[in-house]
Amino acid sequence: MNSRVAMKRRHGLTAIFLICLAYIGSSASPRNARAQSPQPLLRVAVVAFTRAESATDFPLIESAVADALARDARIFLIDQSIVRPALTGIRYDGSINMSKAEARRIAAAIGCDFLIVGKADVFTRSEREGESHQQAYAAVMMVDGRTGALADFAFFSEKADTVETALSAIVKAIKQRTVDLTDRVIRFRAMAEFRPAHRATAGDDLIEDVPDEDSSRAEGFKPPEFLNRVKPEYTSEAELADITATVEVMVVFHSNGEIGALEITRWAGFGLDESAARAIHQLKFKPATRGDEPINVRALIRYNFRRVSDPSTRPESQAPKLPEKRERDLRQLFKPTYRRP
């Protein structure tokens, strides 16, 4: 009798154990399936590579970028039969010096997560008397279609005795860096999605925009007064690629005399965005005031970059377009108000 009772108990415990295992398995499987589900492919579009008029091997660089990206299993490369009509439809002018709004507009027209623009060229260069070589470079800019921000910039430079050798070295370097480039833009997107919300502090409260001169808000308002001028560096990459570009940065000038948050609203790549940010952080200023009380203000700082050279030997580059909604450049507020005699 006791043995039968013991057996029934064992069978009952076994049944309960199996039911628990089945429940755990059924509830955990979907979660594991979701965790192991593949990430959606990044939709990437190669938009434009600018070049010098004399560059005849430019398509080789653009094709190398496209081919390398197409081989990455994490990327869906949008076909040019879709990209080109979309660009024509929005009248894209080929600029690689974009505002965030312009970049978002292009990405929306194409339907891509990231777009690629850049510049490539190959030319004869001499670094000392009696010496010459072929210099090739390619600049690749990965732009986040959701925010319009420049997500990553890669610069490749090679020199060789022949054009073919220099270009082959560039193509090889691009293929070797593609995986790393994709890794970085994926991290950029992940950081943008999971970045914690900014918590307001006492110094962030009531940040005003610089008012228009004819606005009622201009009454009693005095803009920040710069105490120094800082010239941003023109980088070696920009020098090699002969870049003319504009960088626009929205800056918060705190009432305590400190530089606050920076947002690059028009980017240029080639290290010029970072150069502009470094220069801004070195600015010294007297805070803006309203009714003699210091206040926080947000204003646009614009830096125009170009290579200094003899204008008689180099044609002047066309100035890049400004965003449709023009923001006031804070530096315009500090022009002398007196008239020359």
Q: What whole-number distance in Å separates Cα of residue 253 and Cα of residue 152? A: 27
For 143, the token pair is 């732009």
pLDDT class for 190, splitting at 50, 70, 90?
confident
> Where do the H-state alpha helices sit in the chain?
2-36, 58-70, 80-89, 100-110, 163-194, 236-241, 272-281
Q: Are strands 114-125 and 42-50 parallel, antiparallel or unpaired?
A: parallel
Q: In this predicted structure, what is the pLDDT of residue 10?
A: 52
- pTM, full prediction: 0.76
- The residue that leads in pLDDT, 297 or 55, is 297
pLDDT in tens, 108-125: 999 999 999 999 999 888
Q: Please choose, from the candidates 121, 129, 202, 183, the residue with its C-alpha nearest in 3D space to the C-alpha of residue 158.
A: 121
Kindly report which listed range (87-96, 190-199, 261-270, 300-309) carries the lowest average pLDDT score: 190-199
For 45, the token pair is 């579009």
Find the mean pLDDT for residues 39-43: 86
pLDDT class for 179, splitting at 50, 70, 90?
confident
Burial of 141 (0-12, 13-18, 19+ CB in 10 A): buried
Residue 181 three-state SS: helix
Q: What whole-number distance in Å separates Cα of residue 98 and Cα of residue 148? A: 9
- Side-chain half-sphere exposure of 301, counting CA atoms within 13 A: 28
Which residue type does 29 have?
S
Burial of 321 (0-12, 13-18, 19+ CB in 10 A): middle
Residue 163 DSSP class: H
Q: Please choose, from the candidates 223, 267, 224, 299, the residue with its C-alpha nearest in 3D space to the C-alpha of residue 95.
A: 267
**Distances, alpha carbon 25 to alpha carbons 22, 29, 35, 337, 340, in Å:** 5, 6, 15, 77, 84
Q: What whole-number distance in Å separates Cα of residue 289 and Cα of residue 296? A: 8
For 31, the token pair is 């979660």
Q: What whole-number distance in Å separates Cα of residue 271 and Cα of residue 268? A: 8
Terminal CA-CA length for the chain: 122
pLDDT class for 149, splitting at 50, 70, 90?
very high
Q: In this predicted structure, what is the pLDDT of residue 316?
A: 35
Do residues 229 and 303 touch, judged by C-beta distance below 8 A?
no
The share of the chain scoring above pLDDT 70, in percent, equals 74
**Distances, alpha carbon 84 to alpha carbons 52, 78, 91, 109, in Å:** 21, 10, 10, 10
Read off φ and ψ for residue 106, nearest 5 degrees.
-65, -45
**90 Cβ neighbours under 8 A, 6+ residues apart:** 105, 106, 109
Written as one string, the DSSP assignment of 302-328 is EEEE-----TTTSPPPPPPPPPSSPPP
Domains of the chain, start order: 42-194 (3.40.50.10610), 202-334 (3.30.2420.10)
pLDDT of 256 strictly over 50: yes
Q: What whole-number distance in Å separates Cα of residue 261 and Cα of residue 282? A: 14
For 62, the token pair is 């653009």
**Distances, alpha carbon 37 to alpha carbons 31, 32, 33, in Å:** 10, 8, 6
